Structures are given as C-alpha cells and as structure tokens.
Amino acid sequence: MENRRVLLASRPTGWVSEDNFRIDTAPVPQPREGEVLVKNLWLSLDPYMRGRMNEGKSYAAKQEIGEVMIGGTVGEVIESKNAKFAAGDKVLGMLGWQHYGLSDGKGLNKIDASRVPMSAYLGVLGMPGVTAWVGLLDICQPKAGETVVVSAASGAVGSVVGQIARLKGCRAVGIAGGKQKCDYVVNELGFDACVDYKAGALNEDLKAAAPGGIDCYFENVGGEILDAALRRMNAFSRIAVCGLISQYNATEPYGVKTFQSILTNRIKVQGFIVSDRMELWAKALPELVGWVAAGKIKYRESVTHGL
Ligand SMILES: NC(=O)c1ccc[n+]([C@@H]2O[C@H](COP(=O)([O-])OP(=O)(O)OC[C@H]3O[C@@H](n4cnc5c(N)ncnc54)[C@H](OP(=O)(O)O)[C@@H]3O)[C@@H](O)[C@H]2O)c1
C-alpha cells in the first residue's frame, strides 16, 4: 500500500498555481504505541489554506515547504494503538492532503455518521458551520427584527450565517457573485434578499436590499464590499470580521475608504478565529446538528473525486 500525498513545493506570489505543489508517494506509515492510522475519505479545501502558504507572521504557524499540505479530513481508523480509538471508528482530524495519516489522538475526534453524511463534518457541521455560529451569535448578537448582512453568502460560512439569522427572526441579506448564486441564497436558503456584487450597482443594490440599514455585518470578503457595507451601517451596529478573501491573493492591499463610519456610527468591530473559541463548539455543534437534521439549515457541497 502506498500513500499518495500532495506537498507544498513553493510559496505562491498572488494566485496559487499547480507549480506550488508536488505529488509524491510514500509507504503507508505504521502506527507506534499511542498512535492511530487513518484512511482519509474526505478532505476539505478552505480559504485559510492560502494564508498558511505565505511566509510571515499570522495567527497560526505557516505551512512548511516539502511537507504535506494542511487540511481538515474525515476518515476511518484502519489500525489503532491508542486505547481511545478502534479500527472502524469514523474520525474528524487535520491529517492533510494525503490518503493515509497518522495521529497521536490529539485533535482527532470520533464522529457519528449515522444521522448525517460524514462529509458534513467538514462543512455545515464542522469548522465553517461553527464559525458562522460563533461570529453571528457570540460577536454580532443580533436581535429579532434586526438586519444581518453577510458577504460570500453562498459559501460554507455565509450560507449558515444567513440561515441562523432567519431562525433568530432577523432580516437576512446576502452578498454573492452572480445571479445563480443569489437565486440559490434566496430561493433555496431562504434569505430575504441577495445582492449580486458583480452586477455593477453594489451601493444602490445594498441600499435597496437593506432599506433600514445594517445592524450586523458578517464580513467574509473585505475590499469594496466592506466599503459598501460600512456606508449602510446603523448606529451601534456590530461587525464580525471573519475573513477577507478578496485580499488573500492580492499583491497590493485594498485601502478602505469609509473607515469614518466606525466612529460616526459607534460600530463595534471584532475579528475572530474560530479555533480560539473551542469552548463554544460544545454549544454550537448540537444546535447546528438539530437544525440540519430538522431541515432548518440547508447546505450544498462541491465534491471533487481523487487527490
Ligand atoms: N475567522 C475564522 O475562524 C474563519 C473560519 C472559516 C472561514 N473563514 C473565512 O470565511 C470566509 C468564507 O469562507 P468559506 O469557507 O465560506 O469560503 P468558501 O465556501 O470557499 O466561499 C468563498 C467565496 O468567497 C467569494 N469570493 C472569493 N473571492 C472573492 C472576491 N475577490 N470578492 C468577493 N467575493 C469573493 C466567492 O463567492 P462569490 O462567487 O459569491 O464571490 C467564493 O465562493 C473566508 O474569508 C475565510 O477565510 C474564517
């Protein structure tokens, strides 16, 4: 048995290309005392990976060149020399872009795949879903009747943010790229409105979609979209800064023009990283599982087969 792996070969400047990666094969590792061998069945591809490819200081250690690319995985225990796991257990971990991974059990969690598909633990019931819950409910704390706006609204995080906002009695407005995504956000996910930022009238369309202004803005994108949202924020509104995806491949950072809105509207702005809030997972996950099982939160996955 061979272990097919994808390694980081070089650091990208701007957009990532295939040249930044190298595929190799290695013998399947053998677990030592205390270790578990896992066959990875699902790998999540997430925006944070782009930041890890960079040199320089961030909230987490950088991805080393020549090492297996970082990534959240769901798989099955093949062999266990750790008393907490047995062969056949389905587990969630961070075993990276490879078919087989070794773990000492730290950060490896058993999952119940009987009620929901295994892959959901990488999305709606995993890091992205919990991120939505933490940023919206712990940081923005929206009240019924308020308007919540979220960018990258059809994505893994944004789609859950808007649906939780609706469950809490708020007006949910998404911002997404293209008519097809906006139709999905409104017609399938049940948002009240969605602004297509690619349609060329972002400020006007956001004003029409949030006529009473914005009470909570869940930021996933940054750049011009952040400027448009800042123009519409209400007094004493809140912004949860979750991500700035428009900036991850940018070689020149975008300069925000409407920063003054934070002062004049007394806006509370807070950045957060979901892994800093592990104590909230135990509260968030059962709620998310309940909503998904009851069909109150819907999700879609984009699946690619093979590594
Ligand atoms: N703070 C945390 O702990 C944490 C945890 C998870 C994720 N995040 C952040 O949350 C954000 C969303 O993550 P996700 O997993 O939901 O991502 P995702 O499902 O991969 O969706 C990302 C979407 O962002 C939009 N986008 C990409 N480039 C853009 C640009 N230049 N301008 C505007 N929109 C752009 C695209 O949608 P459109 O086609 O609609 O443009 C894309 O489909 C990311 O910024 C990520 O880094 C943060």
Q: Is the pTM of this model over 0.85?
A: yes
Residue percentage of the chain with pLDDT more than 70: 100
Q: Does the beta carbon of 162 lie inside 6 Å of ligand 1?
A: no
- In the predicted model, what is the mean pLDDT of residues 276-283? 92
Measured in Å, residue 222 CA sits from the centre of ligand 1 at 10
CB 33 within 8 A of CB 7: no
What would the pLDDT profile of 120-175 be if each residue is shown by its tens digit?
999 999 999 999 999 999 999 999 999 999 999 999 999 999 999 999 999 999 99
- In the predicted model, what is the mean pLDDT of residues 215-224? 98
**Phi/psi at 170 (nearest 5 deg)?**
-95, 165
pLDDT surpasses 90 at 219: yes
Question: Using CA positions, which residue lies closest to atom 37 of ligand 1?
Answer: 152
Q: Among 56, 63, 62, 16, which Cα is nearest to 249's?
A: 16
Residue 146's Cβ-count burial label (10 Å; 0-12, 13-18, 19+) is buried
- In the predicted model, what is the mean pLDDT of residues 226-255? 97
CB 85 within 8 A of CB 113: no
CB 161 within 8 A of CB 135: yes
Q: Does the beta carbon of 158 lie inside 6 Å of ligand 1?
A: yes
Measured in Å, residue 155 CA sits from the centre of ligand 1 at 6
